[in-house]
Structure 1
Amino acid sequence: MNGSDHRRLIEEALSALGIRNFVFGIHDPSFPSAEGEDIGRGSPYSEGGRRLLRFIRDLGFGGVQLGPQGETSEGNASPYDGTIFSRNTLSISLADLTDADRWGGLLRKEQIAALADGRPQRDSSSVQYHYAYRAQRAALTEAFEAFAARRARGEAGAIGRLHEELCEFRRENESWLMRDALYEPLCSEHNRAYWLEWRKDVENGIDQWLFAPGLGEEGLAARRLSELRARYAVDIERHAFTQLVAHDQHVRLRGFTRSLGLKLYGDLQIGYSARDIWAYQSLFLRNYRMGAPPSRTNPEGQAWNYPVFDPGQYFARSTEGGAVVPGPAMRMLTARLEKLFEEFDGIRIDHPHGLVCPWVYHAGQPDALAAVRAGARLFSSPNLPDHPDLMHFAIAREDQLNPRAARHADDWVTSLDKDQVRRYGVLFDAAVEAARRSGRDVSDLVCEVLSTMPYPLKRVMEEHNLGRFRVTQKADLKNPADVYRSENAAPEDWIMVGNHDTKPIWLLVDQWFQSGHARDQAAYLAERLAPSQSSREAFAAKLVESPGELLHAKMADIFASRAENVMIFFSDLFGEKRIFNIPGTVSETNWSMRVHVDFEADYRAKLARGAALNLPKALATALRARGGAEASGLIERLSDLGRACGTPSQ
């Protein structure tokens, strides 16, 4: 069966199951690279990236969910700590810059091959972040210097066109380009990589507060900014140049995914990079930080140290007539949202609690985790003696709180009137309005709500009929009401066996067999998937014969649910057992797993031995669970394909 026939069969099965969105999850660094171009990190903009996207489209996926794409620092590869406006230049495909027509051949193929040969390890299945960081930046500096030199000589053609594009790009994006561009030169000037550690003997320490000067320091800040713009003019233009390249490559990726019929989803991260906090610090509360409260996943909570918008800056009064208008915080969030909707078809909202009811804790405490555990909800704390400042932001009243519940519990707030729901939803509604202005459906917002859904967030999302995440590997089999059980999924939900923050299902199933929990999983899945009660015992017995059988039933379970949106993370498709990320930790291995360069052959080989996801097999099982004679022919065709271990290239 060829690729298009395979895809049509999978699409027919998805339609029969009522699945509207079938999405492949992967982050930029995890894409494979073509031979001779791999400097230790992947990119969706490379030829290897395009090859993977064609492959998943032929498998039947209709969309791809990328992670945040902001610039990361050399010391922190987490995309959730990247910049909110500047794109990550580590994702730039250097090979594209050898194109004479588009980029004037600013790099030579030999330069890229030399960087690829210089990798400290030949393993293409792991990101070599520190080498890739330095090699990529060195190559982009060479490309910029070549452009600047040729422009100075008055070269026309591609270089002349590129100069005009760069001038236009700078004009259109000046509001964020210059701020982002100044951060690294100032880190070098102060010999400190973090802005709060910059020297205070330079212009009274104004560099730390350059974009948030105190009363009476506005003139000093303006003079210092003018001086820095002149001193670092080349650095600013180099940053603008690399951002132009990154944005141009993303525009072309968008065209490519559209040509394939793939929806492209971006990620609105709740966190900020250090340079963003420096550049926009005037918008945030000074004495509070955002984190994650204690939960079943992280009982101690997580001290993210992310800033929190000052609610007093959501809105302002117009100088003309005194009308209520968007304030600085709302304008910045709206700019982020509009940029994202220019670049993507849909947006994943990371931790939407942070927009509606953020969990905040006192900044600057010696024990950050203790501070997190003693934190509170920003808008749900009208009377807490340890957080008196939050009284001014309270939307929920004291009589609407549950005194028997923990303050981070979902039922801490018990009731809200319609106006209170509107006030809680101010920032979330900005995302909804941005989607509509961009011609998107509200359902193109994908809300990462995991084990906790505080009552205010529940009410706000209900206003827009938006669902939550159901991560079925986390399901509590002893609790019929557990949020992660597939039978509790609603049509608007997004269901998955795992994501970038969980163990890969292939590893977890092995651990279930080792611990003896495989039988519990098999019994549960038999209840879900065996059409008749008389067949369930035999069905469960078959599942415990091998990890592969149990795993495919676990996959079938998500397709058989009522959820109309299914997401599969790349490690679960390709049979990976390495962990992609351990939440709340900083590690060299986090964010480092990649798709192998020979992924097509690797996937076929794993399919042949039952060690990769066999989509036809899982879909056939899901359709059998649904029942109905009208699907029998489709089930037979899927089963035939599954038994043959078919792939698009066979």
Structure 2
Amino acid sequence: MKISNTSISNISFGQAFTTKEKEYGMKKIEEAKKLLENKDIIVIVPEASMPVDASKNIGIGQLNSQYSESFLDFMKAYTGMNILKVLPQGNYRYKANGYYGAYETSSLNLGSQLINLFELNEDKYGSILTSETLNKVIEKNKSTQEKDLVNFENIVLENSIFDNALKEAYQNFSKSDHQNVKKLKEEFNTYKKDYADVLEPMALYIVLQKENGSNPDFKTWKESDKNLYNSDLVSESDRNKRIAELKSKYKDEIEFIYFKEFLAEKNLSDARKKINKKGLKLMGDCQIGFSKDEQWAHPKAFADANICSKEWDLPALDYVSICNDGSESNKLIKRKVELFAKRYDAIRFDVGWSYTAPILYCKTDEQKKALMKDYKYFYKIDGYRLKNPLDDKLLNIVEDTIKKTKGNAFNKDDLIYEIEAGADDFSVYDWDKHKVIAPFKKRRIVQSTCYMGSDYASINSIEKQMKVPRDNYVLMVGNHDHLALNAYAEEIDNDDVFKNNGNNVKQKKDLQYPVLCEELQLDEDKLKTDKNEFIKAKFAHLFLAKNIKMFFMDIFGRKEQFDSQRNNSKINYRYTIPSNYEESFHTAVQNGNGFNIYDSLAKAIKAKGLDKDNQKLYNELNRLSKKLYKKGVKTEAEANKKHYTKVAIIALTSALGLLAVSAGIFCAWKYSKKHKPADEEEIDI
């Protein structure tokens, strides 16, 4: 008897992977990456945007949490990533317009938003924070957080409920004789000595604001406080006297500031260790700017001008003396880079081109006059460039500092440089000689495909026209500044990101169709008529390069603009990954606008003509890709449950079939016994 399994094969279960499918898929991803010679896949997720446990939501994501650990496992499985990149993690400063830009945080010190409050309630920290206080922070966030947006106000402001919880923890820490706290106190004392040069000025700046009418702008303070660290205007004895006075008056407050910095440093270190155990590197983002307190504490390190943009309002270093060993700007940049080298496995240099060709901007005639000795004015950019170019001198100083800090762990490929700028500001390419300019010739640059055309940002233009070695560039669709890929596909100019830069979304997009068609061997009409096919092509195009970078908003198929350069300031840098990140990801993929790595790898393999000699792998990638795209369940747990249900149904059906067969055989045997001829032998079944 033949048992039909038609009903079983027609049962559709999908499309998130089961645990076994996921693990199998990860092996296929690695095989494909090896075949394509893909090396680094960098995924950008700002720490504040990390998903959180809904029952423990204080308003902000944190790296050092179990939920983030699970999320990174998920991301590694579905993106093939080996590097997690965060945005700058310094101290936020209150902004009246609600703008909490990561690139305006402190560059020397870390922010208290990194601190996992829940660990302070555990034995490892001597339970210095009570459950009741923790719950108050959670409840406060419930009443104030806007859906899917970071609640900075609940966390980073002085006297916020988060800050007050840390005060309670500090008070308990100070009084505790718990064995684990005793060890922490020893660590704390060592930390204060090792980081005294960056801790003391920051703490003094905070208390001096109170001394000067709660004014955060040091330029309006009384002269002795405004120039406290300027040796030309305040004598060493007067400075030491004033510092001692402040330390005595604000002793507890200053210690509390140190305590928060200690915990932030410890949390980042713990998070990095956990990330490394997953086979991932942590990449920091070394912002070009410095905070107000850092400018105040190092007056001789800065020129009286802004760096790169008037609108950024970021202080420019003294680039005239920055390469002179022992100068104030030289010491400051070295210390900054040293701290990044200690905290992170890899570093992305924000506005990396300014390390060789900085542009300074002035607001007053007096400032302009002061620059004229060493800088030349350029009308097109309304800015100033050095008369004696830096070339690669500052880049060498930066890299030598990192090498000295990391020792044998130094790897030049762990350093990447942002090189995109306005056409009149800078170009990493020598267009006449068709090559990368000398300072970046042997360094790894980051190139986005947002403005791609046949002669710019295509694989052909980078590798063949400009002769950039595959090891020396990282290709990305976009980052926090660029238009979200899903919005780009629909030609939605969020917050006029394109318009404000003199561009038109549709015009730029039209230039990309022939490039994607040629380099990926795709149907151009299909790309033009199906926005999801355009998205898939943009992702796949990255895998023609050796090193890849992706922003979480694109991976999750989001349309919102993460940062629109101060437009819509209230929501800039606030978008988060929801707690149900698995469902969110699979929804985007099933809708055709999220990142499907199997589709990208398969397209890249075919484009490179590797599919015929690797047919089995190519077919498997396509099969896995189709399964992810198919509508169905959206979590691994659901997929496992469906799988076991299917197995149970098959087992039950097989058992019933076997029973039916057995019953049939038995009946036939009984019949044969009853009706067999007298001379027939009995059959042993």
Q: Do both proteins adopt the same fold according to a TM-score greater than 0.5, normalized to the shorter chain?
A: yes
Which structure 2 residue ranges, 5 or more long, are not aligned?
1-19, 463-467, 494-504, 640-685
Q: In structure 2, how many angstroms separate the alpha carbons of the residues matched to 1:143 and 1:517?
A: 49
**Other-structure match for 2:318:** 310
Flag the structure with more relative contact order, 1 or 2, with Cα contacts below 8 A and sequence separation at least 6.
2
Q: In structure 1, how many angstroms separate the alpha carbons of the residues matched to 2:215 and 2:461?
A: 47
**1:446-475 residue CA offsets vs partner (Å, 9 max, x unmatched):** 100114326799545345x11332211222
Match of 1:503 among 483, 492, 496: 483
Alignment of 1:572-611 (within 5 A): 572-583=554-565, 585=567, 587-611=569-593
Residue 125 in 1 paired to residue 145 in 2? no
Shift of 1:551: 0.7
Alignment of 1:285-296 (within 5 A): 285-286=303-304, 288-292=305-309
Residue identity opposite 1:504 in structure 2: A
Using a 3 Å threshold, how does the CA distance of structure 1 residues 150 and 244 change in structure 2: closer, same or farther? closer
Residue identity opposite 2:450 in structure 1: Q
Shift of 1:123: 4.7
Whether the aligned pair in 1 keeps the contact of 2:155 and 2:163 (CA below 8 Å) is: no
Q: In structure 1, how many angstroms separate the alpha carbons of the residues matched to 2:217 and 2:556?
A: 41
Residue 180 in 1 paired to residue 202 in 2? yes
**1:306-344 residue CA offsets vs partner (Å, 9 max, x unmatched):** 22222454366xxxxxxxx43332222212212211111
Shift of 1:111: 2.2
Alignment of 1:473-492 (within 5 A): 473-475=450-452, 477=453, 480-482=454-456, 484-489=457-462, 490=468, 491=470, 492=472
Shift of 1:347: 0.5
Residue 571 in 1 paired to residue 562 in 2? no
**1:376-402 residue CA offsets vs partner (Å, 9 max, x unmatched):** xxxxxxxxxx768444368xxxxxx9x
Q: In structure 2, how many angstroms separate the alpha carbons of the residues matched to 1:104 and 1:358?
A: 49
**Other-structure match for 1:297:** none
Q: In structure 2, how many angstroms separate the alpha carbons of the residues matched to 1:139 and 1:66?
A: 22
Q: In structure 1, how many angstroms separate the alpha carbons of the residues matched to 2:429 and 2:527?
A: 38
Whether the aligned pair in 1 keeps the contact of 2:480 and 2:562 (CA below 8 Å) is: yes
**Other-structure match for 2:669:** none
Alignment of 1:617-636 (within 5 A): 617-628=599-610, 629-636=612-619
**Other-structure match for 1:322:** none
Greater Cα shift, 252-261 or 307-316: 307-316
Q: In structure 2, how many angstroms separate the alpha carbons of the residues matched to 1:429 and 1:516?
A: 39
Using a 3 Å threshold, how does the CA distance of structure 1 residues 598 and 85 change in structure 2: closer, same or farther? same
Q: In structure 1, how many angstroms separate the alpha carbons of the residues matched to 2:450 and 2:556?
A: 17
Shift of 1:238: 0.5
Residue 155 in 1 paired to residue 177 in 2? yes
Secondary structure of the equivalent of 2:247?
helix
Residue 17 in 1 paired to residue 36 in 2? yes
**Other-structure match for 2:528:** 544
Q: In structure 2, how many angstroms separate the alpha carbons of the residues matched to 1:264 and 1:307?
A: 28
Residue identity opposite 2:43 in structure 1: F
**Other-structure match for 1:58:** 77
Output the TM-score relative to the length of structure 1.
0.82
Q: In structure 2, how many angstroms separate the alpha carbons of the residues matched to 1:618 and 1:81?
A: 35
Residue identity opposite 1:503 in structure 2: L
Greater Cα shift, 583-592 or 118-127: 118-127
Q: In structure 2, how many angstroms separate the alpha carbons of the residues matched to 1:521 and 1:313?
A: 43
Q: In structure 1, how many angstroms separate the alpha carbons of the residues matched to 2:374 and 2:145?
A: 57
**1:235-288 residue CA offsets vs partner (Å, 9 max, x unmatched):** 2111111111111111111111111011110011101111111111221123x2
Shift of 1:230: 1.3
Using a 3 Å threshold, how does the CA distance of structure 1 residues 586 and 610 change in structure 2: closer, same or farther? closer
Alignment of 1:150-549 (within 5 A): 151-152=174-175, 155-200=177-222, 205-215=223-233, 217-286=235-304, 288-292=305-309, 302-311=310-319, 313-314=321-322, 325-364=325-364, 389-392=371-374, 406=380, 423-437=390-404, 438=406, 439-451=409-421, 452-453=426-427, 459-462=437-440, 465-475=442-452, 477=453, 480-482=454-456, 484-489=457-462, 490=468, 491=470, 492-511=472-491, 521-530=512-521, 539-549=523-533
**1:187-211 residue CA offsets vs partner (Å, 9 max, x unmatched):** 12222332335442xxxx2111111
Larger Rg: 2
Q: What's the C-alpha RMSD, in Å, of the aligned pairs?
A: 3.1
Give the length in aligned residue pairs. Answer: 579
Q: In structure 1, how many angstroms separate the alpha carbons of the residues matched to 2:510 and 2:427?
A: 30
Q: In structure 2, how many angstroms separate the alpha carbons of the residues matched to 1:542 and 1:449?
A: 33
Whether the aligned pair in 2 keeps the contact of 1:470 and 1:496 (CA below 8 Å) is: yes
Q: In structure 2, how many angstroms separate the alpha carbons of the residues matched to 1:586 and 1:509?
A: 22
Whether the aligned pair in 2 keeps the contact of 1:124 and 1:597 (CA below 8 Å) is: no
**1:509-538 residue CA offsets vs partner (Å, 9 max, x unmatched):** 0117995986664443212211xxxxx5xx
Which structure 1 residue ranges, 5 or more long, are not aligned?
293-301, 317-324, 372-385, 395-400, 531-535
Using a 3 Å threshold, how does the CA distance of structure 1 residues 585 and 276 change in structure 2: closer, same or farther? farther
**Other-structure match for 2:621:** 638
Q: In structure 2, how many angstroms separate the alpha carbons of the residues matched to 1:612 and 1:504?
A: 12
Using a 3 Å threshold, how does the CA distance of structure 1 residues 543 and 328 change in structure 2: closer, same or farther? same
Secondary structure of the equivalent of 2:347?
strand
**Other-structure match for 1:90:** 113
Residue identity opposite 1:89 in structure 2: S
Greater Cα shift, 638-647 or 343-352: 638-647
Whether the aligned pair in 2 keeps the contact of 1:558 and 1:566 (CA below 8 Å) is: yes
**Other-structure match for 2:537:** 553
Using a 3 Å threshold, how does the CA distance of structure 1 residues 227 and 458 change in structure 2: closer, same or farther? farther
Residue identity opposite 2:413 in structure 1: S
Whether the aligned pair in 2 keeps the contact of 1:616 and 1:638 (CA below 8 Å) is: yes
Shift of 1:41: 1.5
Using a 3 Å threshold, how does the CA distance of structure 1 residues 558 and 331 change in structure 2: closer, same or farther? same
Identity %: 20
Secondary structure of the equivalent of 1:229?
helix
Q: In structure 1, how many angstroms separate the alpha carbons of the residues matched to 2:41 and 2:165?
A: 41
Residue identity opposite 2:439 in structure 1: M
**Other-structure match for 1:26:** 45
Residue 3 in 1 paired to residue 22 in 2? yes
Whether the aligned pair in 1 keeps the contact of 2:283 and 2:345 (CA below 8 Å) is: yes
Whether the aligned pair in 1 keeps the contact of 2:110 and 2:265 (CA below 8 Å) is: yes
Greater Cα shift, 625-634 or 510-519: 510-519
Shift of 1:57: 1.4
